[in-house]
Amino acid sequence: MTVSVAEQNQMGWQFDNTYSRLPEVLFASAKPAAVAAPRVVILNHRLADDLGLQLEGMSPEAAASLFAGQDLPVGSLPIAQAYAGHQYGNFTMLGDGRAILLGEHRTPSGQLVDIQFKGSGPTRFSRRGDGRAALGPMLREYIISEAMFALGIPTTRSLAVVTTGEPVMRETRRQGAVLTRVAASHIRVGTFEYVAGRGDEANLRLLADYTINRHYPNLPDSPNRYLEFFRAVMDRQAALVARWQLVGFIHGVMNTDNMAISGETIDYGPCAFMNAYSPTTVFSSIDHAGRYAYGNQPAIVQWNLTRFAETLIPLLDPDQEKAIAIATDALNQYPALFQQYWLTGMRAKLGLQSVEAGDFELAQSLLTWMQKAKADFTNTFRDLSADEPLSKALYQEAEFQAWHSQWQLRLNQESRPTTAVHAAMRGVNPAVIPRNHRVEEALAAAENNNDLSVLERLLAVLAKPFEAGTDSAIYREPPTDECDYRTFCGT
Ligand code: AMP
Ligand code: MG
């Protein structure tokens, strides 16, 4: 089944190909591979509407063909992007090995977004990989990215998942699939590392100007425009990782190639949400040293920003020593910046409106107790937001009771009625997160039995994470035992 040009025009694609107009060192042309028997697994109709795309009129066959890359949207110009990156601390040349960028689509609100296929076959950057993706990991990205969006956290989105009708060989034989990803852009810290690594100052400046124009068009007028750019990226990254910490999201593989300059969460691989609070929580099967553990994430952002700042050195000052001093000075402001975002978010989670000196310690002592009590991170904050008394056994512990009295004293300094405090808290403390055992059960049903009903029920509750209706009750329960839970990159 092919999609005619007339049909495609009716769909509403408005492609521009701004990245393709950048110097050719930044990409390689690419072509999605032909596949045997594409079939739609899931389409994100709400996102399609926001993008100005009409999917309703399409037959399932035409949609499958489109999202498997068999019929390219009119105006698209497929490329694979070049980038480098520090993976677990080691520098490597990379590039889109299993992703193809179709170009940028202009939404009805005027926003320019990347439309990218993930798993659509090899590119010039595939190295030894097959360029393919398995259904489970693509659906995992769909679930978690859409959950993050509903939580209000900047993220790439998922428009469609289709199976290819071809197997991919991983630890076992799995169904091949293609995810259509929508992103503010796919420009990464690693993209800058790639250009800087070539010692290519002219193209570095071009890339920086392109990125500023696309993501930071309102930078303050300053003689040091690239320093302002760095500060703005740092600001968004500090805000982003604070949001992750405040919901217990663990990215799992915060390599510099998985950090987007736009400030969106990107590249959902072995990511997972924490249940019982512990800073040492790691789920990724390959993160043996815990480099990307929950509690390390804010510091890793600073490490990645340091790699980013290094790429900008030639643009910061002609005198290299001065440039390094400028970058170091900016980077030194990161810890306070992160702490400010985190504490502001923590105050909201605790229902506090004003700023008081002991607030950090108040939040920290709750976390200290949670870690000792192995309390569930999400449910503890949600329980604190309830109007009912805290009846669970763990809340009867003396240490918690002492903390609770302190918190009540602090709340009494503000004049909000308790019911209003609780209502505000329920607006920022999610009732539902994508719990690992619920995600796994949805993926298993989809992959092993072609049963999407479990996934669809999960997505429905994740779309309204702050509501605690009866339909979400089972999704709010932590797993009974999760000591051995491991996530995989799925590459
Ligand atoms: P990731 O950890 O998924 O962000 O991937 C790291 C790098 O490996 C990226 O440059 C990917 O394009 C590449 N890669 C991952 N899986 C494959 C695959 N199956 N085939 C080719 N390249 C891959
Ligand atoms: Mg990646």
pLDDT of residue 228: 98
The mean pLDDT value for 6-35 works out to 93
C-alpha 281 – ligand 2 centre gap (Å): 21
Which DSSP letter does residue 431 get? S
Whole-angstrom CA distances from 263 to 140, 216, 277, 433 are 21, 11, 26, 21
Q: Please check whether residue 203 lies inside any domain of the structure.
A: no
Give yes or no: residues 50 and 182 share one domain: yes
With CA atoms as reference, report the closest residue to 138 among 41, 274, 276. Answer: 41
CA torsion sign for 311, 315, 319, 323 is: negative
Give yes or no: residues 181 and 281 share one domain: no
The mean pLDDT value for 24-30 works out to 98
> How many distinct structural domains can be found in the chain?
3
Q: Please check whether residue 201 lies inside any domain of the structure.
A: no
Give yes or no: residues 253 and 271 share one domain: yes
The enclosing H or E element of 147 equals helix 135-150
Q: Please check whether residue 212 lies inside any domain of the structure.
A: no
Query: Which residues does 483 contact at the CB level (< 8 Å), separation at least 6?
Result: none
- Return the ∠ at Cα 54 (arms to 51 and 57), rounded to 5°: 165
Q: Please check whether residue 266 lies inside any domain of the structure.
A: yes
Q: Is the CB of 98 under 6 A from ligand 1?
A: yes
Catalytic residue among 257, 267, 287, 376: 257
Number of the ligand 1 atom closest to the C-alpha atom of 269: 3
C-alpha 396 – ligand 2 centre gap (Å): 45
Give yes or no: residues 426 and 449 share one domain: no
Give yes or no: residues 57 and 131 share one domain: yes
pLDDT of residue 472: 93
Range of the domain at 471: 436-475
pTM above 0.95, yes or no: yes
User: What are the tens digits of pLDDT across the range 310-342?
Assistant: 999 999 999 999 999 999 999 999 999 999 999
Q: How many residues does the chain have?
A: 491
The enclosing H or E element of 102 equals strand 99-106
Least confident range from 231-235, 318-322, 485-489: namely 485-489
**Using only C-alpha atoms, what is the Rg of the chain?**
23
Give the other-Cβ count within 10 Å of 1's Cβ: 14
What's the rounded Cα separation, in Å, for the pair 403 and 50? 45
User: Which amino acid is it at 337?
Assistant: L
Check whether 481 has a pLDDT greater than 90: no
The mean pLDDT value for 153-176 works out to 97
Q: Is the CB of 169 under 6 A from ligand 1?
A: no
Q: Is the CB of 141 under 6 A from ligand 1?
A: no
Question: What are 52's two structure tokens?
Answer: 């100005």
Q: Please check whether residue 268 lies inside any domain of the structure.
A: yes
Pick from 86, 98, 194 the residue to mutate for probing ligand 1's pocket: most ligand atoms within 8 Å of its CB: 98
Q: For 318, phi and psi rounded to 5 degrees?
A: -65, -30
Give yes or no: residues 30 and 50 share one domain: yes
Check whether 489 has a pLDDT greater than 90: no
Would you call 257 a catalytic residue per the annotation? yes
Check whether 137 has a pLDDT greater than 70: yes
Q: Please check whether residue 307 lies inside any domain of the structure.
A: yes
User: What are the tens digits of pLDDT across the range 373-385?
Assistant: 999 999 999 999 9
Q: Please check whether residue 208 lies inside any domain of the structure.
A: no
Q: Is the CB of 186 under 6 A from ligand 1?
A: no
Q: How confident is the model at residue 387 (pLDDT cuts 50, 70, 90)?
A: very high
- The mean pLDDT of the chain is 96
Q: How confident is the model at residue 6 (pLDDT cuts 50, 70, 90)?
A: low
Give yes or no: residues 62 and 105 share one domain: yes
Q: How confident is the model at residue 411 (pLDDT cuts 50, 70, 90)?
A: very high
User: What are the tens digits of pLDDT across the range 64-118?
Assistant: 999 999 999 999 999 999 999 999 999 999 999 999 999 999 999 999 999 999 9
What's the rounded Cα separation, in Å, for the pair 51 and 326? 40
Give yes or no: residues 343 and 370 share one domain: yes
Give yes or no: residues 469 and 355 share one domain: no
Residues with CB under 5 A from ligand 2 (ion): 258, 267
Q: Is the CB of 253 under 6 A from ligand 1?
A: yes
Q: Please check whether residue 195 lies inside any domain of the structure.
A: no
pLDDT of residue 4: 72
CA atoms within 13 A on the CB side of 89: 5
C-alpha 157 – ligand 2 centre gap (Å): 15
pLDDT of residue 92: 97
